[in-house]
Chains A and B, each alone.
Chain A
Amino acid sequence: AQSVTQLGSHVSVSEGALVLLRCNYSSSVPPYLFWYVQYPNQGLQLLLKYTTGATLVKGINGFEAEFKKSETSFHLTKPSAHMSDAAEYFCAVSENQAGTALIFGKGTTLSVSS
């Protein structure tokens, strides 16, 4: 069965510092992997996705993630945090070709201080 583990329910960084949010998954088949962001009282917005091809994927707002099959990881990074990055981030996996029926991690709240 699929599962997603996000290490750290809360991460705090200073503005300008590196952001690293960790995600490990388990899947019996090559999965689709996603990172979503949720701002207060809003729905989810797709940051980036891995489906096939290049294992380093770039997303919106300067975020990127690397699919490492040997480590079953898909960590999210951003070189320099901005105050507007403060939000909750979710890693998700899908095993079907349509990329639906997402299994989410518990989420990581990112705080950015000035």
Chain B
Amino acid sequence: KAGVTQTPRYLIKTRGQQVTLSCSPISGHRSVSWYQQTPGQGLQFLFEYFSETQRNKGNFPGRFSGRQFSNSRSEMNVSTLELGDSALYLCASSLGHGKGSYNEQFFGPGTRLTVL
């Protein structure tokens, strides 16, 4: 079974630009979560999508947004990039239904975004 894939793996942008990152979950998984990893703040939860609906949201400004398509693939978008947005963005997928049982999250390799 193929794992979680993220594209692109590396990205360089300049301040003020916007960026879109993509995540393809494991086949059959309906939940996709996004996390930001920086040396200063560590790993922080951005948001989670389940069946095309945002189910949970972290504490990030509105410049960070996401969506999920009917095939469960997800994109996250960051508008008006700032230097502090430079980070590794990780995507994780799971079955996600949480009906009385835990569903393991599987992480992708991440997209490393550098903002100049």
A contact residues vs B (CB 8 Å cutoff): 32, 36, 41-46, 49, 51, 90, 92, 96-107
Q: Report how far A36 CA is from B94 CA in the complex, Å.
A: 15
Query: Which residue of A45, A46, A51, A107 is within 8 Å of B43 (Cβ)?
Result: A107
Q: Pick from B42, B48, B99: contact of A100, CB below 8 A.
A: B48
Contacting residues, chain B, for A32 (C-beta < 8 A): 102
A42 to B110, CA, bound (A): 7
On whether the beta carbons of A98 and B107 are closer than 8 Å, the reply is no
Q: Flag if A98 contacts B102 (CB, 8 Å).
A: yes
Q: Is the CB of A49 within 8 A of B42?
A: no
Asked whether any CB of chain A lies closer than 8 Å to the CB of B56, the reply is yes
Further 12 A-B residue pairs, CB within 8 A, beyond A98-B98, A100-B56: A43-B110, A46-B104, A49-B104, A97-B98, A98-B31, A98-B94, A98-B102, A98-B103, A99-B105, A100-B105, A101-B56, A102-B43
- Chain A at the B interface: SS class: loop
Complex CA gap A44/B55 in Å reads 22
Of the A-B pairs whose beta carbons lie under 8 Å apart in the complex, a sample of 28, sorted by A's number, is A43-B108, A45-B107, A51-B101, A90-B43, A92-B43, A97-B98, A97-B100, A97-B102, A98-B96, A98-B97, A98-B98, A99-B102, A99-B103, A99-B104, A100-B31, A100-B33, A100-B48, A100-B92, A100-B94, A100-B96, A100-B105, A101-B33, A101-B48, A101-B58, A102-B33, A102-B45, A104-B43, A107-B43
Query: Whole-angstrom distance from the CB of B63 to the nearest CB of chain A?
Result: 20
Contacting residues of chain B (62-82) with chain A, CB-CB under 8 angstroms:
none
A107 CA / B42 CA spacing, docked (Å): 7
Note all chain B residues with C-beta closer than 8 A to A96.
56, 98
* Distance A56 CA – B101 CA, assembled complex (angstroms): 19
Most chain B beta-carbon neighbours within 10 Å: one of A43, A100, A107: A100
Query: Does B114 sit at the interface, judged by CB under 8 A?
Result: no
What's the Cα separation between A96 and B110 when bound, in Å?
24
